[in-house]
Amino acid sequence: MRLHDPGRILLVSCYELGHQPLGLAWPRAFLERAGYAPACLDLAVEPLDEEMIARAGLVAVAVPMHTALRIGVAFARRVRVINPACFVCFYGLYATLNADVLLSGLADAVIGGEVEERLVTLARQVESREAVEVRRAPLERLTFPVPARQGLPDLHRYVHFARNGTTVPAGYVEASRGCLHLCLHCPIPPVYGGRFFAVPRDIVLADIRQLVAGGARHITFGDPDFLNGPAHALKLARALHAEFPEVSFDCTTKIEHILEHRALVPELAALGCAFVVSAVESTSDAVLRELAKGHTKADIETALAITREAGITLRPSFVAFTPWTTLEDYVAMLEFVDARDLVLDVDPVQYAIRLLVPPGSGLLTQGAMRAFLGPLDAERFTYRWTHPDPRMDALHQRVTGIVEAAARRQTPAGDTFERIVEAALAARGERSRRWATRGAPRIPPASPRLTEPWFC
């Protein structure tokens, strides 16, 4: 099978949080360095191309998250109809977690971890008709080329950065992969086991340069945790600001890292950090312990104070529904958001996020989780679980409906929040807020954000 011919390898992205897909650009660069000429297809902004599928001898589908996996599976089924002889591979975190299901008749191979060199090896094996190891999660340190973004859809078709009534195109880079931490609900620890790999600074900066040349005026550092390597992160932020002082950035980091590295936060603000995403997950200390998050509600308060003093917006993400989250906890979370002026800093979808328990999840080893588990839902790639309080499962359905309707109608976040508060209080049989309103309506400052809400 000749795979060196242009288009004989097809790399497919399904969903990368609205960003131009680095999950295509990096594998493409590795394959091109090895002499291949892969084609790329981003299903988030491009239509399915049957001619590209029919030409391919190897189709590799990127599945870095659950949403991408579900879209990718539907795509792969279509590939099997159009080109039955094609070799189909899934790569990314959710390929490893769901290997058993994917290899049961749909995928020929799955790759997780540091995937790019393994994809090159796979291409060689498929081309020479060698035996293929069908599942791999390599963690060796890679020699990175600059991501190959030429020919990908224009940045203007992707997520933008919004602040003060204006929007600008946003680029997405990664300064590191993997994570040092072992949060039980996170998909990264089962694959990386507490390891992370820094990407050389010159490679990240070269990628930023091509993104800025393509129109980016804001950069998202999409590392699982930007401050896993604080010295590396700070040097990159300094270099970015020195070369492009007009370009802002955002990053993701743990609450405990904000506390641990609080001395760095003012400088990050001065270097252009507009906001930080942090997986707050819950305002209940009991739930945080079950998830092994490494922070407390008091720590969240401190992190808010640190970032606000520096002029950086903290944008929390939540796992709003878990088996341990009581109705009282849920209402308390809403009260926390309201009382601390976070309403515009939380994407409404966060109030509907339900704990996902995929195969391979660290939660499956915990007796506290097993008590609530049902069977594996192979079509949805998650174990079913039922809340001990039926009101919580009913509330989840109600809040999901509110959020989905608000997204369709582009309802302001504040209005959506009020409807969710009403639903939560109604679940407790109440008609009005338990906590006092704050008097005269306020016009809160615009919250810097990306135009694509966060999904898993």
In SS3 terms, the chain reads as: CCCCCCCCEEEEECCCCCCCCHHHHHHHHHHHHCCCCCEEEECCCCCCCHHHHHHCCEEEEECCCHHHHHHHHHHHHHHHHHCCCCEEEEECHHHHHCHHHHCCCCCCEEECCCCHHHHHHHHHHHHHCCCCCCEECCCCCCCCCCCCCCCCCCHHHCCEEEECCEEEEEEEECCEEECCCCCCCCCCHHHHCCCEEECCHHHHHHHHHHHHHCCCCEEEECCCCHHHCHHHHHHHHHHHHHHCCCCEEEEECCHHHHHHCHHHHHHHHHCCEEEEEEEEECCCHHHHHHHCCCCCHHHHHHHHHHHHHHCCEEEEEECCECCCCCHHHHHHHHHHHHHCCCHHHCCHHHHHCECCCCCCCHHHHCHHHHCCEEEEECCCCEEEECCCCHHHHHHHHHHHHHHHHHHHHCCCHHHHHHHHHHHHHHHCCCCCCCCCCCCCCCCCCCCCEECCCCCC
Mean pLDDT of the chain: 94
Closest CA to 325 of 299, 345, 351: 351
Residue ranges of the chain assigned to CATH 3.80.30.20: 155-450
d(CA 203, CA 143): 10
Yes or no: say if 90 and 97 are a contact pair by the CB < 8 Å rule.
Answer: no
d(CA 327, CA 322): 11
d(CA 335, CA 339): 6
Q: How far apart are the first and last CA of the chain?
A: 36
Poorest-confidence range of 38-52, 174-188, 299-313, 425-439?
425-439
Report how far apart, in Å, the C-alpha atoms of 149 and of each of 30, 50, 171, 172, 209 are: 12, 22, 11, 11, 11
Instruction: Tell me the residue type at 111.
Output: I
CATH class label, 9-136? alpha beta
The better pLDDT of the pair 137, 390 is held by 390
Yes or no: say if 31 and 38 are a contact pair by the CB < 8 Å rule.
Answer: yes
The token pair at 384 is 């079913």
Left, alpha or beta for 327 (phi > 0: left; psi -120 to 50: alpha)?
A: alpha
Confidence class of residue 2 from pLDDT cuts 50, 70 and 90? confident
pLDDT higher than threshold 50 for residue 312: yes
* Percent of the residues in the chain that have a pLDDT greater than 90, as a whole number: 91
The mean pLDDT of 401-421, rounded to a whole number, is: 94
The better pLDDT of the pair 272, 360 is held by 272
Report how far apart, in Å, the C-alpha atoms of 436 and of each of 338, 432, 439 are: 11, 10, 9
Residues forming a β-bridge with 11? 40, 60
pLDDT of residue 452: 86
pLDDT higher than threshold 90 for residue 363: yes
pLDDT of residue 435: 61
Report how far apart, in Å, the C-alpha atoms of 443 and of each of 8, 344, 446 are: 55, 11, 9
Write down the residue that tokens 């109608």 correspond to.
409
Confidence class of residue 430 from pLDDT cuts 50, 70 and 90? confident
The token pair at 341 is 């002026």
Q: Is the pTM of this model over 0.85?
A: yes
pLDDT higher than threshold 70 for residue 438: no
Report how far apart, in Å, the C-alpha atoms of 255 and of each of 177, 221, 236, 338 are: 19, 17, 21, 19
pLDDT of residue 266: 98
In CATH terms, 155-450 corresponds, of 3.80.30.20, 3.40.50.620, 3.30.70.20, 1.20.1260.10, to: 3.80.30.20
d(CA 410, CA 405): 8
pLDDT higher than threshold 50 for residue 443: no
Cβ of 171: how many Cβ atoms within 10 Å?
27
The mean pLDDT of 133-154, rounded to a whole number, is: 95
d(CA 423, CA 417): 10
d(CA 95, CA 81): 21
Cβ of 59: how many Cβ atoms within 10 Å?
26
pLDDT higher than threshold 70 for residue 446: no
CA 354 to chain centre: 15
Closest CA to 209 of 273, 271, 274, 147: 147
pLDDT higher than threshold 60 for residue 444: no
Instruction: Tell me the residue type at 71.
Output: I
Cβ of 94: how many Cβ atoms within 10 Å?
29
pLDDT higher than threshold 60 for residue 439: no
Write down the residue that tokens 């490494």 correspond to.
294
Write down the residue that tokens 């990053």 correspond to.
251
Residue ranges of the chain assigned to CATH 3.40.50.280: 9-136
